[in-house]
Chain A
């Protein structure tokens, strides 16, 4: 029986990134369960310092001689130059890619595009999504390009909806949704006592083992809106807000970052507003917030990423002694996945106020650990966090400068409200976490690989474009 030959084009399966893990999990399982059906090859992006073994050959992108020795050629970072040679050598039935559009655009525009079937697995992290130009109801820059994929797959329903509503060309195109696969075996769910015991191994004596810890994993970068965590932590720690008994909303007090005191309305509220009534419903049935002494933030990130200045931000909000920062200084190296999973399981909840995510692997890993997520209610991660989390309203949107993709900035008061609920209802919070885990368990590697197997089988039912008589891809000048 002839095997379906697949050429993967994404992060090398041998390194530790989200893209690498997806590829490693899916295709390892595919080969293990269908050894007679598939032959796998990979052009691996960033294939340096490989630390994982996979049962297929990984081909480097180009390297070049520099003053520092042999290094990856930046002009061939995603195989823009070397892909065609590999394509001619391997002659795959299907090319599978996973990344951002600029990473696989050369596949869409390949002069040999009609000689292979292309499955583009694509992350959408915000809306609108059309590129540098849009003719409403007619055409868009990115829709025009994405149309050249035989199959388009997004990681969540958010991405599917954004693409089909934002790009007129994709309105009628079938867009599949396949979740990121999860290796269930490394995740554990802890009860209260187990959590305390684990924390005793991890935490210094200055942090009580039964403290409330909200955790976070990610890069230190604008899109992640890291600053919101320190801000929210401030209000939880110092209680400088009012709680309305009428509408249940939280009105946070304005904070002067220099004098380090709360102030009456100046910028956020009308001048002179003195917090004697709820800002939202104007009720006077309000109570002041209370400081919480055992509330902590654990951030697992590379603090040296060129993002927010961590020490400045913490100091502005006066929360230095409530933040634990872990994480290596090389983002692509990471820590072993099992160790990370163990860390997550020690938290009370994850705080995920990101401005936009293509999927949100850390949030999903949190659900896997039975740890509920307090999450920004926008973008891909919201699709699954709703099964095991507390949504935080978007307060405002900030568009990216070039393409206008909106990043959410969550409403601080709503975030505080949800965290207060979490802190005050810790038993119910644990149940919420268990519910999230039950949903996450449906996205096992086997379940996800079955979806891919079905998709590849469907693709192979049609000939490659140059052999069929239905559709062709062309280059337009």
Chain B
């Protein structure tokens, strides 16, 4: 039991369909199975709740009643933190998904309440000027393994040979789905036999009216593109189980995001882990993974952005920026990716496999759990005889 030396309390969203909850489940499972003593404090931040697997249901019921651990992990944004443990270290495992600069009004919450902060990507000092506690990076763990056992979802309205561009995420200002739809509809037509799948789940309690509203928004955005032949956009608004999401992502032929520079893009990580070519802004998570992946650009094309002031942002930092993407570049990248995949380009296939191997080696759940465990072990008052075995 290689993590039996760890004792922690985990506070955060574990049970919803959000990226943060997926992250939590991905990293907690190997820790729990590896013998760590964990008290779970599940939090509901408003995302729709999932129907969990029997293992998770039992584990939650059991571990919410455990004794508090030595280290407190707050897996959330700083303003979502509730009571911390006294005496032991409190670590912020930041799920901050906002853009560019860490909000200044969070600095106090971070510095006062925590001894360490862990970000999902590398944030240079000039983007976190007010954070005075030690900063670390722990990448998003991915559960997905590309093999013959992984299902590929059938979507009833999409014929088997249709090329699927996929997006997965919330519908808000940061996700900027408007530019995604505009780029796709501008570049393609019904002759291309392609569709854009947008998987977005509304807030908890999103009813049929709200879902109908999303459909109306899509229609309106399509209507702004002034050409007669529009390719279809496919919308899925259900809360899906983890395995359904994996099968859905596996159906994508390419992942596209035109977000304004999110740091915390779980779906990008999952798509790369499945060897899907991705198109994402260079700002935020896209730029981070670009530096890690092998040299060829095919697996991750980053859309140039220019930074502009954030119009709606918690913290109200006047120096904060988010990205405005270059739509023409997005269109071009979508067409390039479409051509490469459709032509069964052998070099592309080789790079796809390399990306799968790298993502498993660097970001698989066991690997990331080990990294976190190693970090946490350094904070424990006692050391194990053999770490990580």
Contact = CB atoms under 8 A, between A and B. Distances in A.
Nearest to B244: A469
B100 to A, nearest CB: 32
A114 B238 contact: yes
Contact of A112 (B197, B238, B244): B238
B304 interface: no
A471 B158 CA distance: 11
A474 B155 contact: yes
Contacts of B233: 476-477
A60 interface: no
A465 B155 CA distance: 10
Contacts, number: 93
Interface stretch (B76-84, B214-222, B261-269): B214-222
Interface in A174-198: none
B156 interface: yes
A84 B207 contact: yes
Contacts of B153: 469-472
Interface in B170-201: 195, 197
A111 B222 contact: no
Given A114-B236, A476-B234, A468 B156 contact: no
B208 A475 contact: no
Interface residues of A, number: 25
B157 interface: yes
Contacts of B236: 114, 472, 474-475
A266 interface: no
Interface string A437-477: 00000000000000000000000000001111111111111
Interface in B107-145: none
A470 B153 CA distance: 5
Dominant SS among interface residues on chain A: loop
B211 interface: yes
A31 interface: no
Interface SS of B by simple majority: mixed
A466 B238 CA distance: 7
A115 interface: yes
A148 B154 CA distance: 12
Contact of B235 (A88, A144, A148, A477): A477
Contacts of B158: 474
Contacts of B215: 111, 475, 477
B212 A477 contact: no
A476 to B, nearest CB: 5
Contacts of A475: 215, 234-237
Interface string B143-176: 0000000010111111000000000000000000
Contacts of B212: 111
Contacts of A160: none
Interface in B199-250: 207-209, 211-212, 215, 218-219, 222, 232-241, 243-244, 246-248
A271 to B, nearest CB: 54
Contact of B51 (A147, A465, A467, A469): A467
Interface of B: 51, 151, 153-158, 195, 197, 207-209, 211-212, 215, 218-219, 222, 232-241, 243-244, 246-248
Interface of A: 84-85, 88, 110-115, 144, 147-148, 465-477
